[in-house]
């Protein structure tokens, strides 16, 4: 680890090799039971199905980056299997865990929310593959936002704007970047944050990570 640099290794990455190994054994055992005769067909199906599930889960864990976040003096970088994006501390307005109301209860969402001052610096550095991937992954957040909006026509109008250029100050973005900019702005107006990091990408409880990020933001990783 370099000086003034904190690396976060995701919990979801753990046990990837174990799941892959056990999954391979399950698939092989299932195929072997098929070959032994029809009386072993049922247990063979069970072994093969469980093995396939474990194998897919193991491969998905191994596909995740070794480091999910890097905190430095300048800001933080979020690493995703589809790409990465960096955000300067000076562009961060607030970091917390987004919460929504459900009846009389307040529910914390499994994300770290980052409210930025300007989206243009983010759109300038985010990879196109990551922007496209996050648009898909954030659909549950979009559905959550819809449950918080009493007048759904407002949300529908904001969603229709995703297909238009995203303009901020003198910057203009088109295509996927425009869609991601509009989506971030929409989520910011309904859930309070523009960027969302899944808690699966963390190596500690959400409240501890939020405290760490705020400490880094205010002290610039002393």
pLDDT tens figures, 147-173: 765 555 555 566 666 778 888 888 889
Reply yes or no on whether the pLDDT at 108 is more than 90. no
Q: Are residues 82 and 167 in the same domain?
A: yes
d(CA 196, CA 203): 16
Average pLDDT, the chain: 79
The answer to whether residue 2 sits within a structural domain is no
The answer to whether residue 86 sits within a structural domain is yes
Strands 6-8 and 69-71: antiparallel
pLDDT at 1: 42
pLDDT in tens, 203-222: 889 999 999 999 988 876 44
Q: Are residues 44 and 140 in the same domain?
A: no
Domain total of the chain: 2
Q: Are residues 211 and 112 in the same domain?
A: yes
Q: Are residues 147 and 52 in the same domain?
A: no
d(CA 160, CA 121): 23
Q: Are residues 30 and 121 in the same domain?
A: no
Q: Which domain holds residue 137?
A: 69-219
Q: Are residues 86 and 164 in the same domain?
A: yes
Q: Are residues 57 and 73 in the same domain?
A: no
The answer to whether residue 6 sits within a structural domain is no
Q: Are residues 119 and 56 in the same domain?
A: no
* Cα 151 to Cα 19, 74, 84, 158, 195, distances in angstroms: 45, 40, 35, 12, 24
Residue that finishes a domain, picked among 28, 45, 63:
63
Reply yes or no on whether the pLDDT at 194 is more than 60. yes
pLDDT band at 3 (very low <50, low <70, confident <90, very high): low
The answer to whether residue 149 sits within a structural domain is yes
Tokens for 84, please give them. Answer: 């990465």
Q: Are residues 96 and 206 in the same domain?
A: yes
Instruction: Please state the φ and ψ torsions of residue 76, each to the nearest 5 degrees.
Output: -130, 150
The answer to whether residue 181 sits within a structural domain is yes
pTM of the predicted structure, to 2 decimals:
0.74
């Amino acid at each position: 680890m370099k000086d003034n640099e904190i690396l976060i290794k995701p919990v979801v990455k753990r046990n990837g090799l174990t799941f892959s190994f056990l999954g391979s054994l399950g698939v092989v055992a299932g195929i072997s039971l098929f070959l032994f005769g029809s009386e072993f067909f049922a247990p063979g199906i069970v072994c093969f199905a469980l093995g396939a599930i474990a194998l897919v889960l193991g491969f998905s864990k191994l596909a995740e980056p070794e480091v999910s976040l890097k905190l430095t003096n300048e800001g933080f970088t979020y690493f995703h299997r589809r790409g990465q994006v960096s955000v300067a501390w000076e562009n961060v307005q607030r970091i917390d865990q987004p919460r929504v109301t459900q009846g009389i209860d307040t529910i914390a969402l499994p994300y770290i929310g980052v409210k930025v001052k300007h989206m243009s610096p983010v759109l300038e550095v985010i990879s196109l593959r990551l922007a496209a991937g996050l648009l898909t992954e954030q659909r549950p957040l979009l559905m959550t936002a819809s449950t918080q909006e009493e007048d759904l026509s407002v949300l529908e109008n904001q969603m229709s704007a995703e297909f238009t250029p995203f303009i901020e100050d003198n910057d203009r973005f088109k295509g996927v970047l425009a869609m991601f900019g509009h989506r971030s702005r929409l989520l910011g107006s309904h859930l309070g944050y523009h960027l969302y990091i899944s808690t699966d990408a963390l190596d500690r409880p959400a409240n501890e990570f939020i405290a760490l990020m705020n400490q880094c933001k205010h002290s610039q990783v002393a």
